[in-house]
Amino acid sequence: MYEKSVLDNGLRIVSHRMPGMKSVSIGVWIATGSRFESERNSGIIHFLEHLFFKGTGKRSAKRLKEDIEGIGGTFNGFTSEEITCFLVKVPGRHFALGVDVLSDMILNPLLKPEDIEKERMVICEEIKMYMDLPMHYVHDLLNQLFWPAHPLGRFISGTIETVSGIDRERLIKYKIRHFHPKNIVLAACGDLNHTQLVKTAERRFSVSAKFKKNIFKKAIVSQVMPRTNFFFKETEQTHIALGVHALKREHPTRHALALLNIILGANMSSRLFNEVREKRGLAYDIHSSVQKYRDTGAFVVSAGVENGKLAQATDVILEELKKVKRKEVRPAEFRRAKEYYTGQLLMALEDTMSHMLWLGESMVSLNKTKTVKEVLAQIEKVEIGDLKGVADRLFRTGHLSFACIGPVKDRQIKKIKQKLSLG
């Protein structure tokens, strides 16, 4: 189903031909992210991501965009804790140009001093904007509680102080260290031929250099009591994010946690949506999610609630988490969760971009791919009792963290702290 090759310089190539598609989605994945940064360099990979769009020795920033958009394509990039990716979606007949543009951006960025200074200001404004969005910023506050004094607890974009101190020399040094062919995966899905893709990659990614393996600081969970952060701000809603430490990316019971997440808060038929929004009208948006890293993870519930009903909403959320510990989920609910999980996966993989993201992330994170058949078989093996087992293991008072942004008063803080329990 998936074709793989490795170039002599170590660059890994993985592709999936999707007959009938007119597009091809291509991603260059680098196994580096914010957790590989020192505190002094916090935000440096996100800084580089911005600068890679500012031009190369062959293409100006304007031409980079025109070369892709001029053929009807789109391109973008993103940085996470463990991965950096640059991607394009273009008509299949232009796949070679897509590879050429991506390789040019990554291997030959100019990193001009004037662009660095300009983008430094842009990123500082981006950080300020993000901090003005409490529904997003509250998650960063929660991560600080989960992983204090650890790279996973820092902002991916860094801080204004760290970004202001990063110079061109450090940017170049970080790029040389991390953007090495052995640390890169080229993934593509859609209207393409793998042999042609490999030949194109051989021409565009022919560079080679001495490689030093990237390492990161492991996350050690030592939390034994609830942690809280009440951030006072005059907002129309109070935004909360609460959660517990969870499972690493490849944990044997990860699919059970995924199903539990669906039942609790991943869609509009979930328990939290029904209890918090539909029955009580305490929030417009309420959902749960799972964060997965190489060595750790988190289960998170977030919501924007009416200022005066913060304690009530928190009580309802905690009660729903306790329920899945006390009693197994209903068989019909379990079946619906499985159908939602598999259905969402299958529908996503019909799209060339979504399929490329799935394939590329697996290859760069795990150095392997899984067929859809294999994943569906793993999901099918999950039994109803496994969900309660995961809840019993993860939903513990000592692992609970709670972050909040809003006009919170002392009496509300005291009341919530007293009730932060999953016993």
Give the contacts of 159 (CB within 8 A, at least 6 positions apart). 42, 43, 127
Q: Are 370 and 221 in contact (CB under 8 A)?
A: no
Provide the residue count of the chain.
423
Give the distance from CA 323 to its chain's centroid.
Answer: 28
Report how far residue 272's alpha carbon sits from residue 293's, in angstroms, rounded to the nearest whole number: 25
* Secondary structure class of 113 (helix, strand, coil): helix
Sort strands 184-190 and 12-17 into parallel, antiparallel or unpaired.
parallel
**Which two structure tokens, joined as six digits, stand for 286?**
């309420």
Residue 56: strand pairing partners? 109
DSSP string of 173-209, one letter each residue: HHHHHH--GGGEEEEEEES--HHHHHHHHHHHS----
Question: Hey, how many other C-beta atoms are within 10 angstroms of the C-beta on 125?
Answer: 11
Cite the DSSP H helix spans in 94-227.
Answer: 95-107, 113-131, 134-146, 160-165, 168-178, 194-204
* Secondary structure class of 116 (helix, strand, coil): helix
Instruction: Spot the catalytic one: 3, 37, 39, 49.
Output: 49
Give the contacts of 79 (CB within 8 A, at least 6 positions apart). 33, 34, 45, 46, 49, 156
Give the distance from CA 381 to its chain's centroid.
Answer: 26
* 119 tagged catalytic: no
Phi, psi of 366 (to 5 degrees): -115, -10
- Active-site positions read 49
